[in-house]
Amino acid sequence: MIITILYYLLVAFVVFLMGWNLLKSKKWQEEVLYVIVLLPFLLRLLRLK
Amino acid sequence: MSMTTSATIILAAMVAAYLAAKIFKISTELSMLAAALVGGFVGGAGLPARHIAEGAFTYLDICLIFITATLFMNLLKESGGVAFVVRRILKRFHKHKFLLFIMLAVLMLIPGMLTGAGSVTVLIVGGMVATVLGYMGIPKPKAAAIVFVIAGLSAAAPPVSLWAMLTAAGVNMPYVGFFLPLMIPCLVLALLTIFILGWKSKPVDLDQALKELPQPPARMNWAKILLPFLIFFALIIAGRIWPFDFPIMGLPLVFAFAAAITLLLSPVRIDFLEVSRRTVHQLLPLIGTLTCVGVLVQIMTLTGVRGLISVTVVTLPAMVVILTLFLTLPVSESVLMWGAAPVLGVPLVLLFNTMNLNPIIALAGMSIIWPLGDAIPPTAIIGRLTVETVGMKERYSIFLKYCIIPAVLIIIVGTLMVVFSKKLAFLAVF
């Protein structure tokens, strides 16, 4: 249980970092890539998959 | 329309979409995604949202390993640990070229071994090692070749070897038994590379080299560098010694612990958030590739294209497949990057398995050949990164020329491992 929580925290941290980078990015290809990469992390964080 | 014809048309549409995207200067990751979306559309699945999400999840755990492992390495660099180690090695072994080369090769293997990414080796230690090599009279293209080839081998080395992990996952084979079959050739070939390319070097100019290398913080010492590694290995070994008493933490969490220890022990204050943000940005091409490859493979499976490739590869004459590995593996890597492993590696391992070869050793042999493709255009990501990091001003082709001898050696060793995989099966112990 503790390890599961730690993993959720880790995923949340990664989502935060990716979101931050996405907002700071000025290149459209990079932005699209961030959105795609965020997809699985967000779905896992929201427990949708 | 037969299944084969239908899958061939979809494959052709996917290849066309990929090429069109490349012509419009779209990155390789997004080109693969474009190919996947076109494949889904031509295959009659429209925009298969469920499969896109499913595919994007395929390598989530590997992405987490990359992020935490690279964060660990970046924190070590920021704390001055890497500069400390390079300077100490140089001071201790500058009079003994033989030992200095061994230490530099081993030092370059570590970041890639732990993170699975050659780019991390180049970024963490590549520049510093190139500086040392430069003061030994080794020209920059040659130094770049040494850094690139060893970075590639470090990425293929265990415990995290992406090509082996992706292919093993694709054939439902546990990632077990790869340590020695990957470690031995990677170590030997890394040493051969540095000795062959650095053979004509002169003794290092210690004062000049130390002047150019970054200065580590005064309070940095060996304990602060080694403790995170000790904890890292202790957590991994504990899980194996006491499998029923020790929780299964997984590599991402173990790396995260090691990173936390590095941060706590750092003699200088590190902007943790900024380093973490930079780490994710640095890894975007890599995790982007993994996510897009996951989607691509999922759509290829959905539309039957993956089956078509698998059946075609499996029914090819075995000798032809083995004798062309030197070409197909690096070229597939240069086009698909790590995506080459699930797309081409999976049917190849299935073929070798049906030929009664040992799939673990054969896959290990293939895994050491794949990274060579990272220097070949159109992508050449690691090659270009190495040239930039080393500060090489000469033409890219000169760098490629110096890569030829080690590349030939790697190809010979990798191919022999495939051919004699059954006899080498004793290596697949853990």
Distance CA(B235)–CA(A4), nearest Å, equals 17
Chain B interface mutation, best of A10, A23, A47, highest count of B Cβ atoms under 10 Å: A10
**B287–A21 CB contact, under 8 Å:** no
In DSSP notation, A6-22 reads HHHHHHHHHHHHHHHHH
Residue of A nearest to B275 (CA): A17
Per-residue tens of pLDDT for chain A, all 49 residues: 889 999 999 999 999 999 999 999 999 999 999 999 999 999 999 988 7
Close Cβ partners of B180 (under 8 Å, ≥ 6 residues apart): B427, B428, B429, B430
Residue of B nearest to A33 (CA): B288
Q: What is the pLDDT of residue B240?
A: 75
Q: What is the pLDDT of residue B38?
A: 96
- B206-209 contacts, C-beta under 8 A, 24 or more apart: B206/B90, B206/B91, B206/B94, B208/B135, B209/B90, B209/B94, B209/B131, B209/B132, B209/B135
**B26–A29 CB contact, under 8 Å:** yes
Q: Residues B205-254: pLDDT tens digits?
A: 888 888 888 888 988 999 999 999 899 889 888 877 887 888 888 889 99
Q: What is the pLDDT of residue B37?
A: 95
Closest to B124 measured CA to CA, from B140, B108, B135: B108
Q: Residues B260-272: pLDDT tens digits?
A: 999 999 999 999 9
Secondary structure string (H, E, C) spanning B134-170: HCCCCCHHHHHHHHHHHHHHHHHCCCCCHHHHHHHHH
Return the ∠ at Cα B27 (arms to B23 and B33), rounded to 5°: 95
Under DSSP, the state recorded for A49 is -
**A40–B57 CB contact, under 8 Å:** yes
Among B65-69, B243-247, B344-348, B393-397, whose mean pLDDT is lowest? Answer: B243-247
Q: Is the pLDDT of residue B52 over 90?
A: yes
Q: Residues B315-328: pLDDT tens digits?
A: 888 889 999 999 99
Distance CA(B370)–CA(B341), nearest Å, equals 8
Q: Residues B2-41: pLDDT tens digits?
A: 888 999 999 999 999 999 999 999 998 899 999 999 999 9
Tell me which residue range forms the domain holding B257.
3-427
Q: In chain B, what residues touch A40 (CB-CB under 8 Å)?
A: 53, 56-57, 60, 63, 291
Distance CA(A18)–CA(A35), nearest Å, equals 9
What count of residues does chain A have?
Answer: 49
**A36–B63 CB contact, under 8 Å:** no
Return the ∠ at Cα B201 (arms to B136 and B412), rounded to 5°: 120
Q: Using a pLDDT cut of 90, give the percent of chain B over it.
A: 56
Q: Residues B163-176: pLDDT tens digits?
A: 999 999 888 899 99
**A41–B29 CB contact, under 8 Å:** no
Residue of B nearest to A30 (CA): B284
Of B53, B250, B284, the CB nearest to A39: B53
What count of residues does chain B have?
Answer: 430
Return the ∠ at Cα B285 (arms to B283 and B286), rounded to 5°: 65
Q: How confident is residue B150, by pLDDT bands cut at 50, 70 and 90?
A: very high
Q: What is the pLDDT of residue B314?
A: 79
Please give the tally of structural domains in chain B. Answer: 1
Note the pTM of the prediction, 2 decimals.
0.83
A·B CB contacts under 8 A: 70
Q: Is the pLDDT of residue B413 over 90?
A: yes
**A40–B287 CB contact, under 8 Å:** no
Q: Is the pLDDT of residue B410 over 80?
A: yes
Q: Residues B99-138: pLDDT tens digits?
A: 999 999 999 999 899 888 888 888 888 888 998 899 888 9
Q: How confident is residue B151, by pLDDT bands cut at 50, 70 and 90?
A: very high
For residue B182, the Cα-to-chain-centroid distance in whole angstroms is 12
Query: How far is the alpha carbon of B29 from chain A, nearest alpha carbon, in Å?
Result: 8
Peptide bond just before B378 cis, omega within 30 deg: yes
Q: What is the pLDDT of residue B311?
A: 84
ipTM of the complex: 0.95
